[in-house]
Amino acid sequence: MGGQFDCKVSSKDTDGALLMYDTVRQAKGGPALHFHESQDELFYIIKGEFIVKVGNETFTLKEGDFAFAPRKIPHTFAKTNDGEGQMLVMFQPAGSMEDFFKEMEKMGQNIPKDMEHALKDLFSTHGMQVVGPPLKY
């Protein structure tokens, strides 16, 4: 999904209460517009620039900025800068998000460009609904 995901807090560590990834991203872009049935998603920018859309609002985030995407609210993000970007991504509660990322890892660099259609079932299996394409910037 455009970068390396390093699990910092596993769902097993928190009995399912929280999951946290440190993501280092080289590629611009991000996931399809989606929402989580049961998880809030939180974003903290460490390096680079990202746009984050939550509901009808779009934010430009830089180092030290934070965004919150409540469950059942459509959201997405995209890395927009050249070079490296880094972001902490957290899910509360964890749900099956850790398993989702393990499934995505199996795809490696073969994640389809039309992920909003091709991966709809995978998202759904893990409690997410895809409702639109990735952000254009």
**Half-sphere exposure (Cβ direction) of 132: Cα atoms closer than 13 Å:** 14
The pLDDT value given to residue 101 = 79
Tens of pLDDT, residues 40-71: 999 999 999 999 999 999 999 999 999 999 99
> In Å, what is the CA distance from 97 to each residue of 9, 62, 66, 93, 134?
12, 25, 20, 9, 19
Q: Is the peptide bond before 93 cis (omega within 30 degrees of 0)?
A: yes
What gap in Å lies between CA 119 and CA 111, rounded to an integer?
A: 9
Band of residue 106 on the pLDDT scale cut at 50, 70, 90: confident
Ranges of each domain in the chain = 3-132
Tell me the C-alpha distance between 31 and 120, whole Å: 12
Which phi-psi region, left, alpha or beta, contains residue 15 (left: φ > 0; alpha: ψ -120 to 50)?
A: left
**CA-CA distance, 104 to 97, in Å (whole number)?**
11
Average pLDDT on 79-103 reads: 91
**Across residues 22-41, what is the average pLDDT?**
94
What CATH number labels 3-132?
2.60.120.10
